Each structure stands twice: as C-alpha cells, then as structure tokens.
C-alpha cells in the first residue's frame, strides 16, 4: 500500500558536485533521506514504468537507505529497479549498468573517498541516463524542491531480499538483484589485452592492489586474481566493510601508506595501485616510483593507443582546471584538442557525449574515458598494466621517458581541511579582491603574468560556469591555484594547487618539495592562509 507521509523541509540539502554528503547521524534523522529522494523524483519527468539503478559502496547506512529507495521508487511509479547484490555497486559499475540497461537514471549511495562508519559520512547522488552525474540544472531543481517539500510517497512493505540474485515484486514494481561485478569485468576485458597481461603475470610480473576495505575488493579480486591470474593476496584489504576497516579510503600517500611503504621496500612488487571508497579514484605507484595523478593522466593519454580499446587514437583530452598542464603537451603533440574544465565529472560527461574527448582526468586521482561517464579507478590501473606490458618497461622507465619527451610539471596539492566556513570564504573573498592588481607584481614565486577567477564556457551547450577557482599565473609558466572543495561534510577544505614546469633541458630529477618551495611561500604571501585559518601547515599534501 502506498503511503503519503507529511514532512517539513531541511535547509541543508543542497547537492554539491558529487551529490548530497553529510554525516551518518544527519542522514539517519527521521524523514531526512526520504525528503532528499522524493525531491530527486519530484525533479524528474517521464520515468513512469522506467528502470532505476540503485547501489552503493557498502558504507554504513548503505543497506538501510537502499530499502528506503526501493519502497519510494515503487510508490513513485518506476517499473523496475536494478540493485547490486548486497547493495554493492562501484560508481563506475553503476554508470555502466545505467548505460547498458537503458535505465532512466540511478541513485548512487556513496561519499566516495570520505571515511565511513556510524560517526562518519554518507552520500546520495543522482546519475542521469548517460550514466553520469546530474547536470547543474537538475541538481538546482532538486535543491529547490528540498526547500518546499511537504510530503513523500513510500510503499508500506517488508524489506526486499537484496542478497540473492533474481527478481521479486514490490507493489507494481520489479526488483532485480544483479551481479555487481560481472558486467563491469566484461567491459574491462573488451578494452584491454587481458591475454598479454595474463602472460606477463604468469612470467613473474608482480603487483599489489589495495582496495582499502572498500567497494573495489570484489571487482579487483575477480579481475586481477581470477581473470588475470595474479596470486591470491595480490588484492589487499579486499573485503568491503561498512566502516572501511577504520581506513580513510582515499588513495593518497597519507591514507595508502601501507601500500606506499611496500612499494618503496627493497623487495617491492613491480606495480602497485589502490582505489577509493566507491571505486572511481586511483593511486599508481611503481617500484620506488610514485606517479602523481596529473602525470598519470598524461602518460595514459600518450600511450592509450597501446590498448586494443583505444588503438584508433583519441578524439581529445580533457582535464580539470586545477590539474597540471602535463596532458596539454601530450594533446599538442598528438594534434588533438585539450579541454580545461571546472572540477566535476559532469563537465567531462558533456564532452564525452558529444564525441569531443576520449580520456579525461582530475588531479584528485580521478581518470576515465568514454567507456562510462564516471571516473574509474580499476580502468586506470588496467590501462597502466596494458601500457607496461606493451612497452616491456617499468613504471620508472616510462616516467623518465615521458619527462624526457615532454618536460616535467612538478606538482602538489595542499589541503587545509575542516576550516570554519566563514573563514574559508573570507580568505577567498580577500584573494579575489586582489586579482585586478596582481599582474606585474613579484613575490617568492617570481613575477606574476596574470591572475583571474576561472570561468568556463561549455562548448557543447554554451553554458557558463563562473568562480571556479583563483588562478595565479607566473611569467615562467608556474602557477598557484586556490579553490574551496565541496566534497567534505564538515566545514570547508581549502585546496592549493602548486605547479612548476621544467622543460626537457632542465633538471627533471629534483625532489618535488624542493622544486615547489618558492611557490609554496608565494601561496602563503598571496592568501595569508595562516592568518585566516590559524593553520601553519596543510592537513594533507598529495
């Protein structure tokens, strides 16, 4: 029986670039999740009798919210819901399932790389029929509805069995529980030379993959150990846990230190990688060789033709504005377009749908291609493996050759986390107030060529996105970028991106910290970070 439940709005349900993220205790409030889900449905048209995909990264509250979504989808008129077995679907697998099933859209339950547990984070985002995150016009409509909602519709019914593959009925709606891994693994096998990678592993090539007790465990075990023949134990922390085993499932050098230490040891495997909470980010480390996400994007683009799925070449490369310019030089050499977009995968989705780009990437460890409409951690790892096998070289050798060919973009991101929102906004406002007078001035980083607040005109629909981050560009090609992130759940995170380009004739073997030290000082001089935040050092450096 369908119930109509009276409710009142919550004033904190504005979706960010990756949906709505809050602490579990917030989502666990009566009506909170229901209000947001109903607001999503109320903002859509034409879904009666259509298919909805639902799944998440297995974090705390995942199963409970899936049951709410199922009962509400039935009450609102969906004809079928596809749900990952056990409630599990990585974000890229959810994107593929939406696309391959012809679904109307999907609800992905995840807070990505944020920690999980009863005192940690949860999230919901809506993906549209192309498999990608909802565009701003949809998220704006959802937010507007959250401010006026007065009731939601839900079926009064027992919980659905989501652990057994098969179909059942919920009111007039079919619920189909599907294998969350098989379709995705088959897609990967269609893109990469699995026989060659399998032969390399059989010949003694060793790897380690850290799933960080998050969603990619089943995917990595199926692909790396079962289909590619890597020995048992290759996948570390391979069982998804609601609290991610008390890990912070962000694949960076702080939170994946166990993997990093293993890859820096004398007996390190040939190749190491990790993925995050929902499977869309990646970390790449060769034996004694860490690869920055920006460099990884450039190397993948330069060598993608070595994988069967990309043998025809690339249509274009897209990167987010804060990502280093390493990929720009690859695009120039290949004679293909380079698109610089705001942060947020939805901007890449437009380019991919229009056939303008093939490979996309963000400095925050996200890379992907036109095979889905999300970034994809395991995809990036497999493309790296395919490249190493085809070239017969180590990660360190590939990187040295890349820098010798294109020069090196020394790069780091400094995150200042959990800043009081008013202080973070005041810092950015003060910085924006200086922009008009900065050109031609000098500081520890050198002479400033230009300074602006990045704006983007989407070439597919001419929509304009403003205030996407403050850029300080120096005469020598170096730059410092300041931006507030929308992925946290408490306070604000200030991200400072620091980049120095050195050409092929320069010193390509400096320590990154030494290369960037003058620009780090310049960032402090420009923004008075310590004065505004009270923090004399970043929380995390990646």
Residues known to be catalytic = 112
CA 54 – CA 32 distance, rounded (Å): 18
DSSP states of 478-493 as a string?
-EEEEEEES--SSSEE
- Number of residues in the chain: 542
DSSP state of 527: H
Tokens of 330: 């690859």
Give the pairing type, strands 121-127 and 105-109.
antiparallel
Residues 6+ apart with CB under 8 A from 30: none
- The angle that helices 32-42 and 136-146 make with each other, rounded to 10 degrees, is 130
DSSP states of 384-425 as a string?
HHHHHHHHT--HHHHHHHHHHHH-EEEEEEEEEEEE-HHHHH
Q: What is the gyration radius of the CA atoms in the chain, in angstroms?
A: 23
Of 228, 192, 233, residue with least CA distance to 211: 233
CA 319 – CA 92 distance, rounded (Å): 18
Element (H, E) at 282: strand 282-286
**Alpha helices, DSSP H only, in 175-256?**
182-191, 194-202, 216-220
DSSP, collapsed to helix, strand or coil, labels residue 295 as helix
Beta strands in 31-143 (DSSP E): 51-56, 80-88, 105-109, 121-127
DSSP, collapsed to helix, strand or coil, labels residue 313 as coil
For tokens 């297995």, name the residue: 58
For tokens 């990505």, name the residue: 112
User: In the beta sheet, which residues pair with residue 484?
Assistant: 494
For the beta sheet containing 289-291, the strands, ordered from the edge strand earlier in sequence to the opposite edge, are: 235-236, 207-210, 271-275, 282-286, 289-291
What is the three-state SS of 421-438? Answer: HHHHHHHHHHHHHHHHHC
CA distances from 299 to 78, 190, 289, 383 (A): 43, 21, 14, 10
Of 126, 157, 113, residue with least CA distance to 36: 126
């Amino acid at each position: 029986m369908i119930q109509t439940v009276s409710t009142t709005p919550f004033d904190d349900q504005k979706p960010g670039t990756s949906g709505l993220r809050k602490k579990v205790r917030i989502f666990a409030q009566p009506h909170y999740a229901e209000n947001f889900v109903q607001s999503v449905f109320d903002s859509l048209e034409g879904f009666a009798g259509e298919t909805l995909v639902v799944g998440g990264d297995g974090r705390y509250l995942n199963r409970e919210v899936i049951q709410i979504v199922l009962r509400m989808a039935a009450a609102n008129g969906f004809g079928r819901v596809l749900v990952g077995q056990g409630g599990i679907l990585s974000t890229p697998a959810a994107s593929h399932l939406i696309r391959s099933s012809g679904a109307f859209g999907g609800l992905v339950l995840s807070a990505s790389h944020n920690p999980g547990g009863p005192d940690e984070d949860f999230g919901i985002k809506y993906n549209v029929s192309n498999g990608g995150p909802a565009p701003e016009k949809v998220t704006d409509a959802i937010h507007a509805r959250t401010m006026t909602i007065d009731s939601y519709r839900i079926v009064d019914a027992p919980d659905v069995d989501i652990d057994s593959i098969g179909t059942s009925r919920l009111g007039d709606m079919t619920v189909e529980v599907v294998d969350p891994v098989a379709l995705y693994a088959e897609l990967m096998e269609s893109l990469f030379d699995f026989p060659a990678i399998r032969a390399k592993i059989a010949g003694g090539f060793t790897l380690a993959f850290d799933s960080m007790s998050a969603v990619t465990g089943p995917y990595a075990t199926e692909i790396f150990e079962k289909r590619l023949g890597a020995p048992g134990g290759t996948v570390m922390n391979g069982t998804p846990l609601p609290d991610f085993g008390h890990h912070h499932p962000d694949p960076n050098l702080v939170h994946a230190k166990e993997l990093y230490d293993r890859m820096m040891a004398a007996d390190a495997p040939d190749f190491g990688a990790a993925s995050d909470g929902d499977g869309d980010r990646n970390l790449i480390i060769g034996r004694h060789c860490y690869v920055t996400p920006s460099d990884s994007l450039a190397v993948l683009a330069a060598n993608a033709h070595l994988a069967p799925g990309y043998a025809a070449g690339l249509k274009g490369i897209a990167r987010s504005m804060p990502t280093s310019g390493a990929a720009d030089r690859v695009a120039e050499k290949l004679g293909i377009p380079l698109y610089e977009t705001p942060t947020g995968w939805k901007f890449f989705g437009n380019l991919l749908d229009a056939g303008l780009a093939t490979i996309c990437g963000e400095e925050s460890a996200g890379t992907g291609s036109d095979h889905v409409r999300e970034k994809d951690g395991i995809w990036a790892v497999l493309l790296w493996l395919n490249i190493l096998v085809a070239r017969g070289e180590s990660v360190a050798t590939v990187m040295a050759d890349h820098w010798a060919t294109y020069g090196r973009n020394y790069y780091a991101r400094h995150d200042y986390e959990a800043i009081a929102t008013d202080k973070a906004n005041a810092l950015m406002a003060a910085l924006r107030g200086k922009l008009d007078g900065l050109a031609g001035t000098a500081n520890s980083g050198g002479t400033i060529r230009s300074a602006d607040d990045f704006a983007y005109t989407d070439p597919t629909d001419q929509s304009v996105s403003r205030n996407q981050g403050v850029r300080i560009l120096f005469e020598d090609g170096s730059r410092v970028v300041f931006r507030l992130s929308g992925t946290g759940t408490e306070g604000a995170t200030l991200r400072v991106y620091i980049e120095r380009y050195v050409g092929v004739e320069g010193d390509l073997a400096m320590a990154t910290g030494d290369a960037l030290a003058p620009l780090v000082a310049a960032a402090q001089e420009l923004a008075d970070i310590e004065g505004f935040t009270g923090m004399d050092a970043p929380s995390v450096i990646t």
